[in-house]
Chain A
């Protein structure tokens, strides 16, 4: 092949710049550890964050927020604010009541679900600290902030409802008085054999272990807080909405439904977005308010969130109480699992608030074979910020509970916790496997991942060291934690979402545009906010079409240029969006092959495609590159009869199944028994995420994910006082760990391709977060088990650990007389519970 592929077929004389033409495809794109295309502009500050956008005549909006968790609004007086120079407008909830609509919840998990009205600005009552009460619009941001202090609000305080269990107790104060209950929904799900009967049938041979775990509330803390800019063209009633969102496409539909502005009159752009972790998978009050106010005033409006606002008014994550019960026969064979879940909705239902615990429902049985499964979830209203999707969304909670209780069961049975897992997990030759919770796991190899992890970790060596040090009464306590997790990625087959009453489908859209010069534009509905989609998509397209990586441009995040999509969350981008792209390249090649055959005067069946070149079987000199075909198609002088002059192709892909990444994470901690401080000494993970498109991106996702999961185990907790105030309202008190607090991560991989999609990919966005929390907590409990410690709440702060190591009277516990793993099974109770 020549150095440059000449344009050859251009009609007429055009002097081409040599760089305008493509170099030949060098091969090997899929699986190549490319640096991310996105990074050069990120690290040189050439990004386009929402807050950087300025427009002629831009006005600034600020939101006055409730300082009380629950109160009746007696009056809101904005008149003094309006008198300040530079203030253009100020509105209370009542002022906007007839135009602001209600914020949507797209996941009514049951027909009876209590779904309270959710006005973007509170009209009659405020129901959490941070609930919006009024907005100010001013010429500059300083004035807009100052003016908030001039607004007079009279509140009549109502009782805060902070604790979930108190909220559902008889006679509890109500969050929504008109609803008569704080229960949002009850969602029962029994699957497989009847749990109670199964346990009863095992009689004396049954061992049952029960635990209560708390998934503390977490604050998502994306590095870029939210922001929105709305640019109206008043005369045309058209609006461009820039938002720091994960979901421009869903947002467009929802803004139309909420405000009544035609969907075709709204363009949503997600510019560069600085992280989300699910917190930007939502439709927020400020997005609606900025739109409504921009329409009212006919002027562009900007709102940017401060970190304090972010902690009050952006959704929170987790916040569940899990009562879990596991049953096994005395030889360790699992019988079944029973889960009773309380899930804190907060004050209102945001986009998918009620669906989060339901997503978890399918993951409790994890990788283990069992016959009976009984799940029940109660959604509860409290006067706190609404919860919603946070990295993993339901699956980390489920994985934590099952992996923790597997360790507790092992202790109860006097078994090594890894052996107990091996006894019960699905063996690789058993896939595809129909799980008790109704999912079909398409592939997996838990043995391979675990074996590799055990070697990397030196599990046997660390256990030996632990035994020796326990014998020496070492005040530094060594603990070893295991997490053999799986999860479900690739949200989601639309029919499954339909069966769960979710309001939309789970497909993803892609389009490939072959440009005349042989360059390729790819649009994708999966909208990145830090992941590296543009790099990965370029690799997929380069590999499929045989064009250089540099020749592929990915276009995302604008409903004008990538009009169709379901956006980015739930590790779906590669598994759904990537497959849509892959399938679209197939359609391009199909068309290109017909045209190549035509131009090469060969039968289509004789034309082969490889490395970007079409050739004819048996005549080696008859070749055409895909770029030549693209140009010939553009010229359209000589195409097969009736053929459209374009190679451009769309694909909308709806997955048939979820994908099921899995892996084995092993963690060793050292606990200073004098202070309770936990240090992670060693962290090893072997993840099986199927085929890998770009190992560098994978490594980044795994590292960040593990860090976030460790954060839940050791550091982060949103704390509310009895009045419902968030006492961890800033980064001073809400402890987000940084590099110095985290260990080296020893990462490894096995590759068991998914059999449910043509690339064999599984997704990696949440794996680390899901796996690491139980690995760390199991290690801590392993260290403390000889002292009779049964459960430490997350985060396992030094103080909690220290207190767990003492009796109530303050004297230290000692390590005698309790069972270590593999030791004598002295306190396993027969047929009872522990």
Chain B
């Protein structure tokens, strides 16, 4: 299919992009990697008046260290994120989850910022951002502000960004000490979206493998209208030192969630999967598999 006609601007700096977006008015949209937006346009499910393409804004691309955090430019492609040495060292969970997104063609175009701004609860990266306590840096005509991940995902495909704001970067606090990570994605074919995904990061007591869990972070993909942080399970996991304890603590992970019932699975099946996958993700992350 062919999208309806639209105007197109391709600024080369963030400042230009912000003003281009304001000037173009309410019906304008940001174009990042286009991997979610272009299909929507081609199916004529959206009719933006103008696309502001961020593809030439180099300052939005790349990963750098800033004290206790990594700063990942919004336009950094999935393929760049997953192979970045800093991301691998300090945010291994993000690298692992990004490697499960779609296929190489999509990963070479799609961007980290685009995935978060799109806020599809079935997307793999929002749950990771949530689990890692990421902060999202937005730039608008009124200046810059920082939004915590837990405040960013407002509803299905809806974020705290206002229409004239651009997501510029994502600050991801470094995981320091001994953290094990695992992203468990359940899907039927390799390039498909998650039916359920579980992002787990655990810090072990005494900062060494084995022993018991000192701290856990759990994010859930596709278990509701927004990504879900499973805080109560995180608490229950503290002190768990074997597989049985992890399973016990994970068994309440689906409580209070309202996952969709669709072609991918009924809600009760998703809740079951969330329990199984949480136990598996934590067990693997904590090295309690043996």
Q: Output the residue of B5, B190, B263, B272 with the most chain A CB within 10 A.
A: B263
Query: Contact size class for B?
Result: 20 to 34
- Number of chain A residues close to chain B: CB under 8 A: 29
The reply to whether B190 and A741 contact each other, CB–CB distance below 8 Å, is yes
- CA–CA, A802 to B186, complex, Å? 14
- CA–CA, A578 to B2, complex, Å? 43
The reply to whether B5 and A728 contact each other, CB–CB distance below 8 Å, is no
Contact residues in A for B273 (Cβ distance below 8 Å): 675
Min CB–CB distance A313 → chain B (angstroms): 13
Contact residues in A for B189 (Cβ distance below 8 Å): 715, 735-738, 740-741
Min CB–CB distance B134 → chain A (angstroms): 27
Contact residues in B for A802 (Cβ distance below 8 Å): 269, 272
Q: Which of A21-29, A139-147, A551-559, A771-779 is near enough to bind chain B?
A: A139-147
The reply to whether A735 and B269 contact each other, CB–CB distance below 8 Å, is no
Taken residue by residue from 159 to 197, chain B's Cβ proximity to chain A (1 for < 8 Å, 0 otherwise) reads as 000000000000000000000000000101111110000
The reply to whether B1 and A308 contact each other, CB–CB distance below 8 Å, is yes
Grouping DSSP codes into helix (H, G, I), strand (E, B) and loop, the B interface class, with mixed when no group exceeds half, is loop
Min CB–CB distance B197 → chain A (angstroms): 13
- CA–CA, A728 to B192, complex, Å? 14
Min CB–CB distance A670 → chain B (angstroms): 16
- CA–CA, A750 to B156, complex, Å? 57
Residue B146 CB within 8 A of the other chain: no
Taken residue by residue from 14 to 57, chain B's Cβ proximity to chain A (1 for < 8 Å, 0 otherwise) reads as 00000000000000000000000000000110000000000000
- CA–CA, A141 to B2, complex, Å? 8
Residue of B nearest to A672 (CB): B276
User: Which residues of chain A from 207 to 222 have a CB within 8 Å of any chain B CB?
Assistant: none
User: Which residues of chain A from 709 to 737 have a CB within 8 Å of any chain B CB?
Assistant: 714-715, 719, 727-728, 732-733, 735-737
Min CB–CB distance B157 → chain A (angstroms): 15
Min CB–CB distance A714 → chain B (angstroms): 8
Residue of B nearest to A142 (CB): B2
Contact A146 to B5, CB < 8 A, known contacts A675-B273, A675-B276 = yes
Contact A735 to B188, CB < 8 A, known contacts A675-B276, A719-B263, A727-B263 = yes
Contact A797 to B188, CB < 8 A, known contacts A142-B2, A146-B5 = yes
- CA–CA, A224 to B252, complex, Å? 48
The reply to whether B193 and A732 contact each other, CB–CB distance below 8 Å, is yes
- CA–CA, A732 to B5, complex, Å? 25
Min CB–CB distance B36 → chain A (angstroms): 11
- CA–CA, A142 to B41, complex, Å? 13
Residue B232 CB within 8 A of the other chain: no
Residue B266 CB within 8 A of the other chain: yes
User: Which residues of chain A from 663 to 689 have a CB within 8 Å of any chain B CB?
Assistant: 674-675, 677
Contact residues in A for B276 (Cβ distance below 8 Å): 674-675
Contact residues in B for A142 (Cβ distance below 8 Å): 2, 5
Taken residue by residue from 257 to 290, chain B's Cβ proximity to chain A (1 for < 8 Å, 0 otherwise) reads as 0000001011011001100100000000000000
Residue A830 CB within 8 A of the other chain: no
Contact residues in A for B244 (Cβ distance below 8 Å): none
Residue A306 CB within 8 A of the other chain: yes
Residues of B within 8 A of A (CB): 1-2, 4-5, 43-44, 186, 188-193, 263, 265-266, 268-269, 272-273, 276
The 9 closest A-B pairs by CB, nearest first: A740-B190, A145-B2, A741-B189, A799-B269, A674-B276, A306-B1, A799-B265, A735-B189, A737-B189
What would be 8 A-B contacts, judged by CB atoms less than 8 Å apart? A145-B2, A146-B2, A308-B1, A308-B43, A714-B188, A735-B189, A740-B190, A802-B272
